[in-house]
């Protein structure tokens, strides 16, 4: 049991908690597995940076093992079918872009959108996690910042040539993030994670990333609003 600021008590062993955890934890495991695959795919598209990308992909597979241990620690059986379905849209878009050699789209999906989603989720989860999961998640979130940074640096270096494709990829993928968030909002709430906090944290990370890459404030607002055009 943990006493939260809001005064809500979390019982990590309750059936309600474990049921919600079986989906959220599965999403994270599936996300880490797909991130591993995505960075490996990127080694083919960016052979000059294959070494870095291989290192990132190995970090993702370590993350996956860490979160699998979190489930075992709570005796939870992650609902992987739910998780695969949850990620199908983004996963399909990444794979299609990779087949078409669209590096910019691949980086926007994995290194910006998915990493910002991960950073938001992990930061909001850490204060309400059980002690075992908290330790693991604290280690993982540090790595996710380096993955986000990889995408930021590449897109910044290739900004002018990437702008149009970034805008198109943003329009095609940001709405999926809101759809995904809405889908797990109730389960996240059971874990003590508020949807508003997740949205806020995501928008801050994503906006900062777009700014670092080279977009101005007006463009930034426009890109963020495209997420709402479902």
Please identify which residue in 20, 26, 35, 108 interacts with ligand Y39, judged by CB under 6 A: 35
Q: Using the rule CB under 6 A, is 31 a contact of ligand Y39?
A: yes
DSSP string over 86-144: HHHHHHHHHHHHHHTT-HHHHHIIIIIIIHHHHHHHHHHHGGGS-HHHHHHHHHHHHHH
Residue 21 or residue 215: which is nearer to ligand Y39 going by CB?
A: 21
CA atoms of 53 and 111, how far apart (whole Å): 11
**CB 32, min distance to Fe ion, A:** 5
Mark residue 11 as left, alpha or beta (left: phi above 0; alpha: psi -120 to 50; beta: remaining): beta
Q: Least separation, in Å, of the C-beta of 5 and ligand Y39?
A: 19
Place of tokens 């900004």: 159
Q: Which of 21, 117, 202, 215 binds ligand Y39 (CB under 6 A)?
A: 117
Binding segment for ligand Y39 (CB under 6 A), chosen from 12-20, 42-50, 70-78, 114-122, is 114-122
What is the closest distance, in whole angstroms, from the C-beta atom of residue 128 to ligand Y39 in the complex?
Answer: 12
Residue 115 is assigned to a ligand binding site: yes
Q: Which does 169 bind (CB under 5 to 8 A by kind): ligand Y39, Fe ion, none?
A: none
147: annotated binding-site residue?
yes
Identify which of residues 115 and 152 has a Cβ nearer to ligand Y39 in the complex.
Answer: 115
Measured distance CA(107)–CA(93) in Å, rounded: 12
Residue nearest to ligand Y39 (CB): 31
Burial class (CB in 10 A: 0-12, 13-18, 19+), 1: exposed
Pick what 201 binds: Fe ion, ligand Y39, none; C-beta below 5 to 8 Å, kind-dependent: none
Name the H helices within the chain: 15-45, 50-73, 80-99, 103-107, 115-125, 131-157, 159-190, 195-213, 217-226
Among residues 79, 115, 165, 201, the one that binds ligand Y39 under rule CB under 6 A:
115
The separation between the first and the last C-alpha atoms of the chain, rounded to the nearest angstrom, is: 39
HSE, CB side, 13 Å, CA atoms: give it for residue 36.
14
- Considering the rule CB under 6 A, would residue 107 count as an interface residue with ligand Y39? no
Feature table: binding site for Fe cation: 32, 60, 63, 115, 147
The residues binding ligand Y39 (CB under 6 A) are: 24, 27-28, 31-32, 35, 60, 63, 114-115, 117-118, 121, 144, 147, 184, 188, 193, 198
């Amino acid at each position: 049991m943990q006493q939260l600021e809001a005064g809500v008590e979390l019982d990590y062993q309750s059936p309600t908690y474990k049921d919600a955890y079986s989906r959220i934890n599965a999403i994270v495991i599936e996300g880490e597995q797909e991130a591993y695959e995505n960075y490996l795919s990127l080694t083919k598209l960016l052979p000059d940076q294959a070494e870095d990308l291989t290192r990132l992909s190995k970090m993702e597979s370590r993350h996956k093992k860490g979160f699998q241990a979190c489930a075992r620690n709570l005796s939870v059986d992650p609902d992987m079918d739910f998780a695969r379905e949850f990620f199908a849209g983004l996963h399909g878009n990444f794979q299609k872009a990779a087949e078409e050699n669209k590096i910019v789209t691949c980086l926007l999906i994995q290194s910006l959108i998915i990493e910002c989603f991960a950073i938001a989720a992990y930061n909001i989860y850490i204060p309400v996690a059980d002690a075992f999961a908290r330790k693991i998640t604290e280690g993982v979130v540090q790595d996710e910042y380096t993955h986000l940074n990889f995408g930021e640096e590449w897109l910044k270096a290739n900004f002018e040539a990437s702008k149009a494709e970034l805008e198109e990829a943003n329009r095609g993928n940001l709405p999926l993030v809101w759809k995904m968030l809405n889908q797990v909002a109730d389960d996240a709430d059971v874990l003590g994670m508020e949807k508003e906090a997740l949205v806020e944290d995501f928008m801050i990370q994503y906006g900062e990333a777009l700014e670092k890459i080279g977009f101005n404030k007006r463009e930034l607002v426009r890109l963020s609003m495209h997420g709402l055009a479902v």
